[in-house]
Structure 1
């Protein structure tokens, strides 16, 4: 009922705002007709006064001339308004339109509208039971709570892994850091922070991510997430054999129902060359098990030559297809690991040219360059 009262008041106000000017125009025209009658009465009064000798004939002529001049001027100003019944017709059309629009709109709304549906403000939706709300509304409720209570470490601790599962890595980093700052450090929080930092860097285990994983292992040496990602860091540095050993040890130590077991076994299979192409996360086509066995029997020089050949292959692929952010990250890291800082610096410059320094991929390159000690110049 309140809705209809408000709607009626607003409609009445809008209609009066349009109708009043039309009313004033009609009153103005009535006033103009009255002025003309006054001028005519004044002429009659002058004639009567002259006939009775109350005014001199010359003064009577001057008065008649002045009144006649005013009548002529009035007729000239009023002429544009008197074009048949056009002004009256225009006013009638305006009045009909003003009255018809509210009637028509209200009629349509009663057919297709829903005036009886109650409003649903955000505060009311957030106060619903969790089972009756969507995940987005639950997150919005938690975020609203943390805006009002930023020192609620438990809230940040709960929201951080949710952000991580949703792919909101930057938000997860903020949440984990707030939880650590307020609630204190734990192995799970440090490992989650490291995973969020790696996710924000496109899967690259940066120096900051490595520090978080190492902090997690200090608190819990058997933490599977930290062990997995530190092995991934070895693989990304080109140390596939070492990464495979760490992953194998992790896989053997995990219970059969651990969620990390299938992921780790897949990583072992990739590192050992049992799946094709095995080493995308470490830098393009990697060595299979036969390559690893052959490398074990090689001299140090031959082993280095094999690795350099793999890096050169990746470099050539990036020259042909420069729109490969992960490839550039691997190439820059590989050259630096090999001790070829000049080539790493050159690859960084080419990567900036291909991807853009200010892009998201460019920022990841800058972060990697900083962790490797490379110069980032304009």
Structure 2
């Protein structure tokens, strides 16, 4: 209520000043003849001064006095003939003042009702920062967030893939210390949309990896936690992100989710800085960079800055090298069928849409695991043609060919 009274009072004071200026203009307005009279009287006084200094003679002075006196009489007669001041009637001026006042008061109230937040208390920066810290410290944990989130519907799996996934679950349950089995289980539970099971398997992967845990392992753990909570970054997910960044300060996916967490706790300014720093170091084709760019304009507005950097549009990535390496640890029959499905999808996409050198390299390496040497050679030759003249891309393709055992 105090704020409403303040803006109305401000608008009224502004209207009063404008009205005073309009009325004062009417009181001080004078006809043009009055100005002429002052000029003629000054000219008449000037004639006497010039005569006293000897600038003009007596005859010339008398002639000039006569002419000026004639003009003074004419101007005075003109003033006497005017019976009213120029300008609009008084009622028009008063009506204009009333309209201006109504416009200022009504317009201010309408704009605030449209754009403001009536009843919201003052929020100085220090208070908002303090509230953000409290929100961050007291936000729900992972279990609470999962319980409150609406479960996402699981995708319908192909019958053969679902059967393989069940076999993998049974195998891993029978071999709780099998690192490669847990890696595969975490990946394929995520592929199946079962994110809680995926991050629990990933936690076991980290436990079994000992001290040599890469940044990607913690980043994958955090991502599965966040997806389980429908986009919410819990304290446990934040800790996983910190662990990833401790191992790789430029880890793009971890920076993306950390920036998202800062926005959720009321610190878009920090989130914006994290995202722009991540974009400056983003490699070409980074999929997480596209997610940042899609939200950066809105975040820049909330942070009060408008200098979002430009990076190339990220390319779609295929199965990772970890997918391929982990699949190699399965029994031959399961490994062949599992990899073949991923390989065929990647091959179809590269044939129709193309892709980055890394995607071609993954396909060549996967074909090597499958034992399809001739097909790997054909893909390599095609990639050499696609990236002819690109030395960096050709090095990536050659490395993949060496890994697949088809290097010439």
Same fold (TM over 0.5): no
Larger Rg: 1
TM-score (norm 2): 0.34
Structure with the bigger RCO (C-alpha within 8 Å, sep 6+) is 2
TM-score (norm 1): 0.36
